[in-house]
Structure 1
Amino acid sequence: MLDDARPQGWADLPFFTTDWPAIDAALARETRQILPPRSQVFAALDLCPPDAVQVVILGQDPYPTPGHAHGLAFSAAPDVRPLPRSLSNIYKEMQDDLGACPPNADLRFWARQGVLLLNTVLTVPAGEAHGHKDLGWQRLADQVLARLQDRPRAFLLWGKPAQKIARTIDAPHLKIETAHPSPLSARRGFFGSRPFSRTNAWLSEQGHTPINWTTPEAP
């Protein structure tokens, strides 16, 4: 196990002592291509140390298409075209909610503002969605959410899996629970939920800077 794989700010979570060695060993035995690349497995946590997190968006597992996943839930490499279908629906809702959306699939500029885009499973075999769901990754998400209950934060919980893992989150946090943005469910309550403007209104009420959801910062 490489200790330097542990994301700063989160490295003291019990997961990295009790679970990560076995997961790391299982990944080393894997004969299939693993996504995202090893250096990006903990990218969401690397970009958002606990004190910086203002908003949490939970995903399920990385995109299984090589070249898409780069370690943040729903985000993809900036050159990915067409957009992944769930992300396309997220942008449709954002366009209706805010009147604009980002120019490409790369959401790292959200993360740099304190939006933790955390998948509950952090790896996937290429071409096999949910192929690593039984490795034990979910315990990391449990511990991350427990760490983040120390002060009010916003939680955007899209779909029943995210809502189940965040079931202990309650006031004074903001919880926005809707259907998942997948093409299979987006019309069952995700569209029209206006999560981005609602989150920004709540952040403003808390005295925090609203998230710039639409416009990546200049290089």
Structure 2
Amino acid sequence: MSWNDFFIKNSKLINHILNQLKTTYYTPPLEEIFAIFKYIPLEKVKVVMIGDEPYQKSCDRSDIAFATRNSTPPLLLKRIFQNMESTVTSFKRPIDYHLDQWLKNGIFLCNFCFTRPVVDTIPFHYYLLWEPFINNLVQYISNHHSVVFLLFGSKAISLRKSINEIKSSVVEVPHPINEYTKFKNSKCFIKARELAGEIGFIFEW
């Protein structure tokens, strides 16, 4: 199984999404929407981190979820690093924030919505547009591969129903901004490593 197989099986759905996007101004640009699939092959995936949507500020956005091309991490990423620094003894903050080392370590980074409109807020119908795709994606990954899913916030957590937990494990993570206190005390990154060990593999942040 491969990403190519996944895209072939979901070609009609993907074409529908892209056709809907033609009527809106959105980010990231078309050529970057599915960039994550070029960075990491399916068989190399160990951890899947899922957030809500791309960053609101254009200066923060990257072709990879959670990552940024900016020299200063957005608040979401900053809080993730702070949590890791306080709980994962081996963690060292990366030199830049494109998170290339995470990708090399088998950490697949994506959002519930792979795009967002170029406005201050993201309308509810955007989640409805991307929901079938992201559900199919987590189902495909978990049916063919044993991984650990970290689901950040309520939207991502709603995907749990589509994950095959016979093969994979799930960590529900309070949103680092909207539920900061709960996130701060969650020890989610330690839990992810422990679950990975139970499945039978080791990874580094």
TM bucket, shorter chain: 0.7 to 0.9
Quote the Cα distance in structure 2 between the aligned partners of 1:51 and 1:133.
30
Choose from 35, 58, 64 the match for 2:27.
35
Choose from 27, 46, 50 the match for 2:42.
50
Q: Is the 8 A contact 1:64 1:125 kept in 2?
A: no
Structure 1 residue aligned with 2:192: 199
Structure 2 residue aligned with 1:136: 129
Gaps of 5+ in 2: none
Matched to 2:21, the amino acid is L
TM-score using structure 2 length: 0.84
CA 1:45/1:129 → structure 2, altered by over 3 Å: closer, same or farther?
farther
Matched to 1:13, the amino acid is K
Structure 1 residue aligned with 2:80: 90
Matched to 2:32, the amino acid is Q
Choose from 1, 6, 13 the match for 2:9.
13
Q: Is the 8 A contact 2:50 2:111 kept in 1?
A: yes
Quote the Cα distance in structure 2 between the aligned partners of 1:72 and 1:9.
21
Structure 1 residue aligned with 2:175: 180
Q: Provide the secondary structure at the position in 2 that maps to 1:166.
A: helix
Q: Is the 8 A contact 2:51 2:65 kept in 1?
A: yes
The alignment covers a number of residue pairs equal to: 198
Structure 2 residue aligned with 1:156: 150
Q: Shift of residue 135 of structure 1? A: 6.1
Q: Shift of residue 201 of structure 1? A: 3.2
Q: Tell me which protein shows more helix as a share of its residues.
A: 2
Instruction: Please tell me the root mean square deviation across aligned C-alpha atoms, in Å.
Output: 2.3
Structure 2 residue aligned with 1:71: 63
Q: Is the 8 A contact 2:87 2:190 kept in 1?
A: yes
Q: Is the 8 A contact 1:58 1:162 kept in 2?
A: yes
Q: Provide the secondary structure at the position in 2 that maps to 1:157.
A: strand
Task: Percent identity, please.
Answer: 23
Matched to 1:98, the amino acid is V
Q: Is the 8 A contact 2:52 2:153 kept in 1?
A: no
Structure 2 residue aligned with 1:120: 112
